[in-house]
Amino acid sequence: MAETLTKNHEILEGPQAPRQSRFVQQFRLFKENRLAVVGLVIFLAFFITAVAGVVLTSGQDPVFNPSLVRLQEKLQPPLSLPNLETLKAHEVPTLGIYLLGTDDLGRDVFARMLQGAWVSLTVGFVAVGIAVIVGIFLGGLAGYYGQEGICYDQILDFLLLLSGIIFFILKWHKLGFGLFTAGIFMMILSFRARRVKQNRFMPGWLHKSAFSFDTLIMRMVDIMLCFPSFFLILTVVALLPASIYNIMIVIGLTSWMGTTRFVRAEFLSLREQDFVSAAKALGLGNFRIIFRHMMPNAVAPVLVSATIGIATAILTEAGLSFLGFGVPPPYATWGNILSDGKRFIFDAPWLTFVPGIAILIVVLCFNLFGEGLKDALNPKLRQE
Amino acid sequence: MAFQKPLLRTEDLKVYFYGRDKISRAVDGVSYHIHAGETVCLVGESGCGKTVSALAALGLIPSPPGKIVGGRILFKGTDILSLDEDAMQKIRGNQISMVFQEPLTSLNPVFTIGDQIGEAIRTHETISQDALDKRCVQLLRDMGIPSPEQRLHDYPHQLSGGQRQRVMIAMALACNPDLMIADEPTTALDVTVQAQILNLLKSVQEKASMAVLYITHDLGVVSGIADRVYVMYAGLIVEEGNTRQVFGNAVHPYTMGLLASLPDRKKRGKRLHNIPGTVPNPAYKPDGCPFHPRCSHAVESCKTVEPEMIPLEEGHRCRCPVLAKKP
Amino acid sequence: MFSFIGRSIVQKTITLFFVSVVSFLIIHLAPGEPSQIDPMNPKFTPEMVERFRTQFHLDKPLYVQYVYFYRDLFTGKIVSWKDNQSVLAKIWERFLNSLPLFIVGTLLTWTLSFPVGIRSAIYRGGVYDRSATFFSYLLISIPGFFFAYILIILVVTAFHVPVIGMETYGMGNAPWPNLFMDRIWHLLIPSALGATAGIAVLSRYVRSQMLEVEGQDYVRTAKAKGLPPDQVHYKHALRNALLPFVTMFGLILPGLIGGSVIIESIFSWPGMGRMAYEAILARDYPIILTVNFLSAVLVLAGTFLSDLLYLVVDPRIRL
């Protein structure tokens, strides 16, 4: 009887689960999470508003003028009509109505909110962009080249070059120049010493590895984590001249540690996986392995943390504005509209509530969207 | 034995798992019974529903997504599906206990093994601390664990895999249950340790005269220990009978395929048989006989008609109308 | 064990050294000068500016300034540039003001987030879980000072109690229950505000930990033993889910010195955060650097403490 069975070598598959691409599955999972979908929709609406805002409020003669002062119309509540008798023709709001009221200088809050949307969005995206780029770069290096040691002579080279540059900046030109040349000379020496087997230039201990690359980067992360982050941002922003770019850069440069940590963790585990060994066995270059084979797998958690990071950056900007270190006056941001409004909280509550609720909704959407993305990208949940 | 009332009997048990947009019919009408003191094996490839049908007897189907949608489970004559959670707790561990597949993850890493065994006893009996310690030591000694007094204070990670499984068995035996369910207790262990654990289970069963429901995919193990065998495929029992009937006189093509794929001294030098294809996904089962896409005996009617269990001889039944008719 | 302690102390000291260098460089290389030595400042004559520069060692090279600064810090002689008072004494005074806020806030965070998170995990997908999830997102997303104003308006209009400052001014001879209640009100609102984000984040984390553990095999084993659900959840599952939180105990420490700049500003609470904020405004470098250094010490001590605690609670880790 067994023979009759074995005669049939044809492999007959029963009906299996319909094949779906990973993206389709992820999208289905994402759709399941209704809050996340709401988050995405509002995020898109916010994005469109911000783009519309920058178009409609900039230029010589903007459609909505956010900086037009009408002192006779100050602190008008939302939906109030302008007093046409006291206003000149160009001062009448574009919609013929103060949709969200006016502030203490009679500026149209609706126009200011439109302009602020773009600024808040830029601050969030640029700051997180910087953090993510630094984070991926350092995390990838630590994770992929982590085990490579840094030798004593390399440290020495680096210290010589660095101190040379520092002294040069401190205007000790001769000493700086001397150290810098010594550093370059050292570097050439150690390069040669590595090539030549019997090296006469250097004692052997200089080639011993002092610590690994991974240690170096992770200690940098530890050092950065020692600073209380809001306090650090506040200090630097307060010491630097007030500008929107400084704020973006400072927020970005103080929030890359999380990304670094998990890109590294992800890379460490990916390195051990067979498809990376296979890629190496095929003789692919490190660059190609990192960016073509490993990065797509590590990108999911980075995306999630970036989404949530944008939310945090918008909140941080608002906090800085509140303390008077936010984006300086020519720009309106939701943060500084809100903090300007706090003086009139009992007389003109809309000046607090309009930007406050707007920030709340946008940040909430980013968080919900990020959380939904996390679930959708989680391979454990994708099964079944 | 045949006229005795069975200890555990499931009738047409159906357990479905409700996914987002599909229903997995993991167990789709399974009836089996176990008499007191008997060893019964549930055999099948992974994913055929054997673990789920055993977990159902303990009321441990993860819910959601799992749900028992039909059938009865009679334990000593009472339908345990109608019992409330409190009454179920009195049965679990006390009258029916279970040994799981992975001894590494099935023991709680933060409690000592003494705590974990003692807990099983204290939950069901009132006992003094001294007596409890003595009993735990005795249990460990019965399981063949050296210097049990010291081991009592060890944490699970300090033991080897085989020893951990012995602790699991000690825990399952702690309250002298009437039925022990062993879910692939040897799969995660080394081959030499597997044999030790199997011998241990056998000797324990003889001593305690309890029934054992042994779940495995390894037919080699079955022939050594089982009184009766149920072969499961895709949520259904496809053949049942005593060990001699199933091993010597298998009728269902799936059972034959399993037996043919066993390595055997007689088949030395020949190529081992394999069953083409894979077990169907429980959410997308084929119509008719679930085995027909992989079966070389399949006829046209197999693709449409769901087969019934057909009695062959005393206690031997199978779910294949094509082969059952042939003498 | 001892080698572990020794190694981590050495490692943390090195980290601390680099932190001190980096913070020193950030402060001193930033453009601009402290107001006392700013040549543009009309209050000071060039001679005074010169005197200040020598007094603060600002005429020396950076690395000499660095050595002077940390020598003064460790000998406790460090003084504020603004009013020449001892920095450590100033910090201690403000620290005592911030301490009640910190204690009440931490207690609120840890006592509220655990029950919420555990309950959410046990009744996953239910009404309770979903509303807790939504509220925690709401609390994470609301700008802190906006929320503060809403709360102040609510409390002031509903209960007619003043909440700004540490106590109501001029209540000197009121009966003690009134005094006591006054202090409580003043303390409760800012602490609750400081705790909201913490509660939201921590309860989410408790929930996910708990869910992770509830799916483990040993929880099924515990159920199969016939344990009542409470014992399964609160003994077997919770004990494992708690392990990561033990490490978070150490991370509370840095909160001791940070304080919240924003909340203390809103409530005019003379605490650490406000002092640091004022120091930043006045470019009072010794105070900024000392606060920074102390908080780095606390962060490192906190991580060290959590490593030690982990050793104690997780039987799997033995060195």
Does A12 sit within 8 Å of B284, measured CB to CB? Answer: no
User: How far apart, in whole angstroms, are the C-alpha atoms of residue A335 and residue A333?
Assistant: 5
Q: Is A9 exposed, middle or buried (0-12, 13-18, 19+ CB in 10 A)?
A: exposed
Collapsing DSSP to helix, strand or coil, C111 comes out as: helix
- Which run of H or E residues covers position C154? helix C144-159
Half-sphere exposure of B314 (CA within 13 A, CB side): 4
Peptide bond into A330 cis (omega under 30): no
Q: Which of B256, B284, B290 sits opposite A16 (nearest CB)?
A: B284
Q: Which of A13, A17, A32 sits opposite B277 (nearest CB)?
A: A13
Q: Is residue A101 part of a domain?
A: no
Phi and psi at residue C266, to the nearest 5°: -60, -45
Neighbours of A109 (CB within 10 A): 25
Q: Which residue of C has its CA nearest to B155?
A: C315
Q: Are C151 and C193 contacting, i.e. CB atoms less than 8 angstroms apart?
A: yes
The residues with which B211 forms a beta bridge, in sequence order, are B179
Contacts of A179 (CB under 8 A, 6+ apart): A160, A161, A163, A164, A167
Contacts of C298 (CB under 8 A, 6+ apart): C253, C254, C256, C257
Contacts of B157 (CB under 8 A, 6+ apart): B109, C315, C316
Give CA separation, B28 vs B235, B278, B281, C145, in Å: 5, 18, 13, 59
Whether chain C has a CB inside 8 Å of the CB on A228: the answer is: yes
Q: Which of A1, A34, A383 is best to mutate for the B interface (most B CBs within 10 A)? A: A1
Whether chain C has a CB inside 8 Å of the CB on A225: the answer is: yes
Instruction: Please give the structure tokens belonging to residue B113.
Output: 């093994």
Q: Is residue A14 part of a domain?
A: no
CATH fold of C87-313 reads: MetI-like fold (1.10.3720)
Cβ contacts of B327 on chain A, cutoff 8 Å: none
Phi and psi at residue B32, to the nearest 5°: -145, 160
Q: Which of C218, C226, C240 sits opposite B106 (nearest CB)?
A: C218
Buried b / exposed e over A11-42, threshold 16 CB at 10 Å, is eeebeeeeeeeeeeebeebbeebebbeebbeb
The whole-angstrom distance between A34's CA and the closest CA on chain B is 14
Does A32 sit within 8 Å of B20, measured CB to CB? Answer: yes
Q: Which of C143, C258, C300 sits opposite A231 (nearest CB)?
A: C258
Q: Is residue A100 part of a domain?
A: no
Q: Are C254 and B142 contacting, i.e. CB atoms less than 8 angstroms apart?
A: no
pLDDT in tens, A89-126: 677 777 777 778 787 777 888 888 888 888 888 888 99
Whether chain C has a CB inside 8 Å of the CB on A32: the answer is: no
Neighbours of C5 (CB within 10 A): 14
Q: Is residue A27 part of a domain?
A: no
Q: Are C225 and C135 contacting, i.e. CB atoms less than 8 angstroms apart?
A: no
Q: Are C223 and C232 contacting, i.e. CB atoms less than 8 angstroms apart?
A: yes
- Helices A229-239 and A244-253: crossing angle in degrees, nearest 10, is 150
pLDDT in tens, C28-66: 877 767 766 666 666 777 777 777 777 777 777 777 888
The number of domains in chain A is 1
Which chains share 3+ C-beta pairs under 8 angstroms with B? A, C
ipTM confidence score: 0.83
Q: Which CATH number characterizes residue A277's domain?
A: 1.10.3720.10
pTM: predicted TM-score of the whole model, two decimal places = 0.80
**Residue range of the domain that includes A130:** 33-67+107-381
Instruction: Please give the structure tokens belonging to residue A83.
Output: 């007093």
- Give the pLDDT of chain A (384 residues) as one tens digit per residue: 344 443 343 444 444 455 566 677 777 777 777 778 888 888 888 889 888 888 887 777 777 777 777 777 777 777 777 777 777 767 777 777 777 878 777 788 888 888 888 888 888 899 999 999 999 888 888 888 777 667 777 777 778 888 878 777 766 777 878 888 888 887 787 777 666 655 555 566 666 666 777 888 888 888 888 888 888 888 888 888 878 888 888 889 888 888 888 888 888 888 777 888 888 888 887 778 877 777 777 777 788 888 888 888 888 888 888 888 877 777 788 888 888 887 887 778 888 888 889 999 999 988 888 888 877 776 555 443
Q: Break chain C into its structural domains and give their ranges.
A: 87-313
Contacts of C84 (CB under 8 A, 6+ apart): none
pLDDT in tens, A208-234: 666 777 888 888 888 888 888 888 888
Give Cα B144 distance to the centre of its chain.
24
Buried b / exposed e over B84-101, threshold 16 CB at 10 Å, is eeeebbebbbbbbbbbbb
Instruction: Please give the structure tokens belonging to residue A139.
Output: 């995390």
Cβ contacts of C150 on chain A, cutoff 8 Å: 356
Give CA separation, A105 vs A101, A108, A109, in Å: 11, 9, 10
